[in-house]
Structure 1
Amino acid sequence: MPTIEVIRGDITTQTVDAIVNAASPQVRGGGGVDGAIHRAAGPGLLQECIERFPEGLAVGGAGWTTAHDLPASWVIHAVGPVYGRGSREQLVDAYANSLRRADELGAETVAFPLISAGIYGWPRDDAIHAGFDGIAASGTRVREVRFVTPHEEMARAIESALWRVTPLRILQGARVLHERGFEQVRILPGMSPSGMYWRLELSVGSGDILGYTTGTGSRVAGLDVTAATTPEAVADHLLTLSPGLAPAADPGYAQWYRELMSLVEERAALPIAFADYFDASAGWEIGWGSGVRVPAPPE
């Protein structure tokens, strides 16, 4: 799995094997990151795009050219969707297909902008997590992925999302277990007494499968769980922690959990069931201090 870094800076100056361009379907240059990359690369980049992509590229697709005057070796042109006219799956595909092209080239380091989050209008937090999901889905051999942005606020948002992605992947892994028939797996999330760390217990009945706190970072019972880890891989790991676990039905809880996770993923926020001075009688909270509540799970 690649390491993921956040760089505040100019993507055209990154000394990496490949720079990803947030291209239009025509792949003929344009505004924003696309225009900046074409200007820095020189006119040869446009000519190569015309030759290599006479019909352009599909939304969600990616193709490569050489980098011309850029410090990278290649430019990977990825076409993200316009918000309201394309799908999240296409945005995930734009990242995954970019990394597949990188693997074909033998690239080890790749720099991305936040695709579709500029003039294409994709909501920032969902654009970030779609990028993470694309990295995980790609199965890439790339060693290092950089998210590069000139904006301090955007860089902080990506870094914050990286902090949340490990617990999010655990929650998604529990959902995968439900889909595999282990519907009796339950969660209990909350905040530490200091309010600094999010905590989670996964259990079946009175037996614990996993205890996790964000204070341990990305390590989850011996597995490094990052934005590049799939929920399926997390589910596989959870099963190794409880080898005697057998499938069992609990459809009421599984349906409640699906609805919970829909809201968690929509808001990119973690659920809270307990904390000091927290009134759980009003239900669980989505995002510490948000005031957004959902009913407690069925007994």
Structure 2
Amino acid sequence: MPRIDVTQGDITRVDADAVVNAANTRMRGGGGVDGAIHRAGGRAILEDCIRRFPDGLAAGGAGYTTAGDLPAQYVIHTVGPNFSAGQRDRSLLESCYRNSLAVADDLGLRRVAFPLISAGVYGWPIDDAIAAAVDTVAGAMTSVETVTFVAFNDELADRLRTHQMLATPLRILAGLREAHRRGRGDLRFVPYIYATGAWRIEIGTRRAVHDQGSSPRVGDAGGILRYSSAQGTEFGSGRVTGATPVGAVADLIIASTAEENGVRSPAYGAWLDALIDACTDKRALPYAFDDEDGADGQVWRLTGGHGTVPVPPSPEFDRA
């Protein structure tokens, strides 16, 4: 799984082994990123396209040419689905990223720069285009070490970074809910924010996690599963991305935490459902306290100024 970076700028000037071109099916140049790469790279790119792709390239496919006058060694061309023309199969969009990385692997490349594919004139909804890009790359089995997403403006760069930062934590919360639904009603958690800005969650049994009142905390009992957003996609004994099946995340949580038999709390389960629905809807993370302001005691807050949620129900509602 590669490291993911985000930058704002001109993809034709990025220092990478290969830049990915959002091409069209004819493979003869075009507008947007396609036109910019052909203009900056010179005629050698077009001549190589004609030689290598005499019949063009299908949506979702990928192939490479020389990079001409670009600082990169190669251009990897991929054709995104045209949402505006009715090509709305998301798997085609995901294939653009997977197949481009496969080409990079065949070439022995380590650093690849991508634009956001299909999000321009092809009209793919921006938020879903971002999710497809980041989640597919984050979960890819590839020898590429670094993938850089190159955004054409600061707003898009911020949205890419936000999705990257939220993808794993939101999937962990969804996995925690699934673990509850599988019978691990004993699981509790405390989320908080470091002074560094990193989000942290500690998951354990009801006995180990004291998530009530003004001083929520985790005890010293064993079987506590800890995660910080500074870890990226590393979680427990595996990795979690926005594309990881929720059931697989639940498996990691169940395998990494001790079990307190007999604890069932419909009230806590309902609260957890409402919390995770709110986080998913608002694309925000909960926190009981942070290193700067401490804890409120009456509510948990959501990142990004997205409001508050009630604290977990009192343990007196638990039934062993």
TM-score normalized by structure 1?
0.73
The code of the aligned residue for 1:168 comes to L
Q: Which structure would you say has the larger Rg?
A: 2
Task: Work out the CA distance in 2 between the residues paired with 1:185 and 1:81.
Answer: 45
Task: Work out the CA distance in 1 between the residues paired with 2:140 and 2:156.
Answer: 24
Matches within 5 A, 1:1-299: 1-83=1-83, 85=86, 86-171=88-173, 173-174=175-176, 188=189, 198-203=199-204, 206=207, 209-214=224-229, 216=230, 218=232, 230=244, 238=253, 241-242=256-257, 268-270=283-285, 272=286, 289-290=305-306
The code of the aligned residue for 1:45 comes to I
Return the offset for 1:73.
1.2
Deviation sequence 1:85-126 (CA, Å, 0-9, x none): 322222222111111110011011101111122222223332
Q: How many residues of Structure 1 are paired with residues of Structure 2 in the alignment?
A: 292
The code of the aligned residue for 1:109 comes to R
Task: Work out the CA distance in 2 between the residues paired with 1:245 and 1:131.
Answer: 40
Q: Report if the CA contact (8 A) 1:137-1:230 is conserved.
A: yes
Q: Report if the CA contact (8 A) 2:105-2:142 is conserved.
A: yes
Return the offset for 1:167.
1.2
Task: Work out the CA distance in 2 between the residues paired with 1:30 and 1:258.
Answer: 47
* Structure 1 equivalent of residue 220 of structure 2: none
SS at 2:83 equivalent: coil
Q: Report if the CA contact (8 A) 1:5-1:146 is conserved.
A: yes
Deviation sequence 1:174-193 (CA, Å, 0-9, x none): 578689x6765856575559
Q: Report if the CA contact (8 A) 2:14-2:71 is conserved.
A: yes
The code of the aligned residue for 1:114 comes to L
Q: Report if the CA contact (8 A) 2:29-2:35 is conserved.
A: yes
User: Structure 1's 23 and 135: CA in aligned 2 closer, same or farther, altered over 3 A?
Assistant: same
Deviation sequence 1:3-42 (CA, Å, 0-9, x none): 2222222111123211100112222211110110111111
TM-score normalized by structure 2?
0.69
Task: Work out the CA distance in 1 between the residues paired with 2:41 and 2:104.
Answer: 19
User: Structure 1's 222 and 291: CA in aligned 2 closer, same or farther, altered over 3 A?
Assistant: closer
Uncovered stretches (5+) of structure 2, i.e. residues with no partner: 209-222, 290-294
User: Structure 1's 109 and 187: CA in aligned 2 closer, same or farther, altered over 3 A?
Assistant: farther
Task: Work out the CA distance in 2 between the residues paired with 1:278 and 1:116.
Answer: 46
Task: Work out the CA distance in 1 between the residues paired with 2:232 and 2:123.
Answer: 31
User: Structure 1's 136 and 159: CA in aligned 2 closer, same or farther, altered over 3 A?
Assistant: closer
Q: Report if the CA contact (8 A) 2:81-2:122 is conserved.
A: yes
Q: Report if the CA contact (8 A) 2:115-2:149 is conserved.
A: yes
User: Structure 1's 28 and 219: CA in aligned 2 closer, same or farther, altered over 3 A?
Assistant: closer
Return the offset for 1:293.
8.4
Task: Work out the CA distance in 1 between the residues paired with 2:117 and 2:176.
Answer: 29
Task: Work out the CA distance in 1 between the residues paired with 2:178 and 2:94.
Answer: 19
Return the offset for 1:254.
9.8
User: Structure 1's 35 and 177: CA in aligned 2 closer, same or farther, altered over 3 A?
Assistant: farther
Task: Work out the CA distance in 2 between the residues paired with 1:166 and 1:115.
Answer: 22
Task: Work out the CA distance in 2 between the residues paired with 1:54 and 1:245.
Answer: 64
Task: Work out the CA distance in 1 between the residues paired with 2:160 and 2:93.
Answer: 16
User: Structure 1's 185 and 244: CA in aligned 2 closer, same or farther, altered over 3 A?
Assistant: closer
Q: Report if the CA contact (8 A) 2:204-2:258 is conserved.
A: no
The code of the aligned residue for 2:142 comes to T
Task: Work out the CA distance in 2 between the residues paired with 1:261 and 1:170.
Answer: 10
Uncovered stretches (5+) of structure 1, i.e. residues with no partner: none
Q: Report if the CA contact (8 A) 1:113-1:148 is conserved.
A: yes
Q: Report if the CA contact (8 A) 2:205-2:257 is conserved.
A: no
SS at 2:25 equivalent: coil
Task: Work out the CA distance in 2 between the residues paired with 1:89 and 1:108.
Answer: 25
The code of the aligned residue for 2:52 comes to R
Bigger shift: residues 108-117 or 130-139:
130-139
The code of the aligned residue for 2:48 comes to E
Instruction: Give the % identical residues.
Output: 43
SS at 2:117 equivalent: coil
